[in-house]
Structure 1
Amino acid sequence: MFNQKGFSLVEVLVASLVIVIGVTGYVTLQSQYVVANSNLSLRSIAVRLAADKLSDLQFFEQLDGSSFSYAIIGDNTGGSIPFGDRDIILSANNVAQTHSFTISWQVSEYFYIDSDFDGLCDMWVKSGDLGYPDPEPQYSDMKSINVTIEWTDLGGSQKIFLLSGVVIPIAMGNSFQALYRASSSTSVP
């Protein structure tokens, strides 16, 4: 009987096949991770753009129809951030790339009414609802805003992010916190 040392050709081929399959799976996994991470970064940018636009609409300066006023906040109007496409510069490995996002928003005006005629307001209504005020007051009591950000991810799929919020007709400079700052929670003891 011969004592053989080493591996046979079949054993070497099977080991090589196992290593090649493992390396291929690892490379595929890494490339999917890079794409997923890039798509997550695009979503993070969309969230930031939506939050910026909602904040932009909430920080109006006046009630009347002048620029930056509560009265002109409407579908795709109002604020300093414009409606439409916005190219964001992304940097990858010191190479500047841009990605396009589309910003839009819809506004619904709400009024707080007395639905049971007891002298106390108790219900929110919008245009078309039963109890909608006639004639309509100059300013609505609240504006519900839906900010929509659309973009195309790296796989070519259309993505949409929606952020909802409200704006009320009290300028931030006239809010309780601004007027009574000394008694607010941000004052120093």
Structure 2
Amino acid sequence: MSSMPTLEDIDALAFHDLHSLETLDCRDNENLKHFHPQAFKDNLFQDVSLMELRYLYISGNSLSTISQQLVDWSKLSELLIGGNALECDCELAWLSTGVNSTWINDVTCSGPQELAGKLVLNAASDMKCDQTLGIEVLTVLAVIVMGFTLFIILGYIFARRQWPHHVPKINLFGESAVPQYFPLS
């Protein structure tokens, strides 16, 4: 799979059922920009690869990131990833500690601008991992849940006023928490 100018993506499950694959040589594909994190999985719900991959050569491509979930990095005997357009950001921070450091001792960052040209091993502490994203997502979810709850409550109040005999009365703090369909008095 080397020197293929039209190769742009390696999709999920691209190598499924190739359990005895030991070497993947996918070098010098100038337009290869994306290697799906589940390319070596047998199904999309699988956590780890069942492959016997020992040698992974993906240098000289245009990959901007390499997923930690791509392969079982501890099983590799050799890795070549130099010559890619690696974005040294939070998604790639794992690389400096997740693989044998001799495999990446000459691998450099292509971006962001402040890390361009810096060795990945030396850039790990400078890779920006925005932790506020999780808080922002939780805040948005909380607002959505509160808005939905308010919508339901207001909808109930409106319906109860419009059709008092058809919408059950809910007595949460009185004699019974069971809905009463008809007023007792």
Measured against the shorter chain, the TM-score band is: under 0.3
TM-score, normalising length: structure 2: 0.26
When Rg is computed on C-alpha atoms for both structures, the one with the higher figure is: 1
Greater per-residue strand proportion: 1
TM-score, normalising length: structure 1: 0.25
Greater per-residue helix proportion: 1
